[in-house]
Amino acid sequence: MEFIMIFISAVLVNNIVLARFLGVCPFLGVSKKVETSLGMGMAVTFVMTLASLISYVVYNLILVPLKIEYLSTIAFILVIASLVQLVEMIIQKTSPSLYQALGVYLPLITTNCAVLGIALINMNKGIQTDGAFGLIHSVINGFGTAVGFTLAIVLLAGIREHIEFNPIPKNFKGYPIVLITAGLMAIAFLGFAGMIK
Amino acid sequence: MDVQSIIFSGLSIGGLGLLFGLGLGVAAKVFEVKVDPLIPLVRDALPSANCGACSFPGCDAYAKAIVEDGASITSCPVGGADLIEELSKIMGKEAVEVIKQVAYVKCQGTCDNAIEKYEYSGVMDCKNATFLQGKGSKGCEYGCLGLSSCVRVCEFDAIDIIDGIAIINKDKCVACGKCVLECPKNLIEMVPDDKKTRVACASEDKGKEAKSNCTTACIACRLCVKACEYDAIHVDKNIARIDYDKCVECGACVAKCPTKAIIDYKIK
């Protein structure tokens, strides 16, 4: 039950993009087509889930025993950067078209604050709950957050596909209307606040 | 802070980096994507303008198409003859002599030569102006409006609006063809650079009407057709057209043209 709560909280209530406003760059950049945004969501899901797993291990098995917790940010960046490299290789090998479509945003997952953010959030929760936020909690939180990211980006891509040929005033064409759309989505997701304490 | 913790932090982060680096090295071997070594060579030779004139989406795609699909090495107008020579060396193909093309605006309806129907003070864009009554303010509805649509689309800064009409700087023009597509009047045409005798008019109006709108209009009098000994010039839809394959630039048509609508750019 607790795991389900963590998952739903990460997907809807504390949606990484629409409630925490992290990872907005790929959210706006790769949301032109549903297909690509889904690919991006998958890549982020893979990176985020593995990053929460490995960063938990690195933090609790290396940094804490050596009392060098202050190096957590650097260590997490190291973990994430390596993972992104790995994902990039895998995607380039298995799906060149997706690799083309994701373009520069794929290596940019390295600096995607959502991924680093979730590693740090997991760590902080562990400190706050006195270590009760364990490995499985972290992984589920990371996975849920990534699902939330995928949900948000796919929803936005769907909306963008629909409004593509609408008579949008010239001044709002392109990113302005996307930012307004994203803002409205954030307001809508505010409706989930308070669902889980 | 003691020395021990410095060593610990250095060793642990360094060790992690080493570990991940090794992992990535192994992964790079496992997931290796084989790229034809010629592709980067061809890609470096291409001019990186990414203009799309070769009909491929950018220089990367063209390089790939040359190497993998055997695309023609003469499709890039930007690089010109030098590039074709270089590509032929890389690909081991015969260099083909290609005549340089340039874009050419078929109009000389300058402020002095052509009349205006009304005063236009709208958006400075030919496409917008073309939607208006009489296809723009120019008396001749085929003429260049000079509102800079082609200037804006040209990535090579080769077009200027001089005296109310677009003039193409042939030294800067790379024949990418973007202006040809942009011009709402279809006034810009690709012509071989070495053929200097060209018709500088596109009016399909009847002679009298064309002449009343512009002093240098082609009035379809067919004097040039009679003057030409090489059967290189014909009148079609009230406008003289030169067949550049047949034209030898003898200048007979230029001399005969009563409205100076045919110009020899060698002299000019």
Which range, of A54-58, B3-7, B91-95, averages the lowest pLDDT?
A: B91-95
DSSP A95: -
Interface test with B, best of A56, A61, A76, A93 (most B CBs within 10 A): A93
Interface test with A, best of B8, B18, B22, B30 (most A CBs within 10 A): B8
Q: Which of B5, B8, B33 sits opposite A92 (nearest CB)?
A: B33
Distance of CA B45 to the CA centre of its chain: 20
Residue range(s) of every CATH 3.30.70.20 domain in chain B:
100-190, 195-268
Q: Is the pLDDT of residue B194 over 90?
A: no
As for the ipTM of the complex, it is 0.71
CATH class given for the domain over B195-268: alpha beta
Q: How distant is the Cα of A86 from the closest Cα of chain B, in angstroms?
A: 6
Q: Does B123 touch chain A (CB under 8 A)?
A: no
Q: Which of B17, B20, B31 sits opposite A90 (nearest CB)?
A: B31
Question: Which residues in B lie closer than 8 A to residue A72 (C-beta atoms)?
Answer: none
Residue range(s) of every CATH 1.10.15.40 domain in chain B:
38-91
Helix (H) or strand (E) holding B173: none
What count of CB pairs under 8 Å joins A to B? 48
Which range, of A135-149, B10-24, B67-81, B170-184, averages the lowest pLDDT?
A: B67-81
How does residue B96 score in pLDDT terms, banded at 50, 70 and 90? Answer: low
Token pair 């939607």 in the structure block, residue: B131
Question: Which residues in A lie closer than 8 A to residue B12 (C-beta atoms)?
Answer: 62-63, 66, 68, 71, 75
Cβ separation A75–B16 shorter than 8 A? yes
Question: pLDDT value at position B267?
Answer: 64
Cβ separation B32–A93 shorter than 8 A? yes
> Which stretches of chain A drop beneath a pLDDT of 70?
131-132, 197
| Inter-residue contact A20 to A14 (CB < 8 Å) | yes
Interface test with B, best of A83, A86, A170 (most B CBs within 10 A): A86
- Kindly state the average pLDDT of the residues B88-94: 75
Which range, of A117-126, B75-84, B129-138, B254-263, averages the lowest pLDDT?
A: B75-84
Q: Does A82 touch chain B (CB under 8 A)?
A: yes
d(CA A105, CA A91): 13
Q: How distant is the Cα of A31 from the closest Cα of chain B, in angstroms?
A: 21
Q: Does A57 touch chain B (CB under 8 A)?
A: no
Cβ separation B23–A86 shorter than 8 A? yes
Q: Is the pLDDT of residue B98 over 70?
A: no
Question: Model confidence over B11-50: pLDDT tens digits?
Answer: 888 998 999 999 999 988 888 777 778 888 888 888 887 7
Q: Is the pLDDT of residue B268 over 60?
A: no
Q: Does B16 touch chain A (CB under 8 A)?
A: yes
Closest chain B residue to A74, measured at CA: B13
Question: pLDDT value at position A32?
Answer: 86
CATH annotation of B38-91: 1.10.15.40
Question: pLDDT value at position B79?
Answer: 77
Query: Is the whole model's pTM more than 0.90, yes or no?
Result: no
Looking at the DSSP bridge assignments, the partners of residue B167 are B160
Looking at the DSSP bridge assignments, the partners of residue B263 are B198
Question: pLDDT value at position B50?
Answer: 77
C-alpha angle A182-A183-A186 in degrees, rounded to nearest 5: 90
Q: Which of B5, B12, B24 sits opposite A85 (nearest CB)?
A: B24
Cβ separation B8–A89 shorter than 8 A? no
Question: Which residues in B lie closer than 8 A to residue A73 (C-beta atoms)?
Answer: none
Question: pLDDT value at position B93?
Answer: 66
Per-residue buried b or exposed e for B92-128, using 16+ beta carbons within 10 Å of the residue's own CB: eeeeeeeeebbbbbbbbbbeebbeebeebeeeeebeb
Q: Is the pLDDT of residue B119 over 60?
A: yes
Closest chain B residue to A96, measured at CA: B33
CATH annotation of B100-190: 3.30.70.20
Question: pLDDT value at position A153?
Answer: 93
Q: Does A68 touch chain B (CB under 8 A)?
A: yes
Structure tokens, B20: 């991940």
Question: pLDDT value at position A139?
Answer: 92
d(CA A48, CA A18): 17
Q: How distant is the Cα of B213 from the closest Cα of chain A, in angstroms?
A: 36
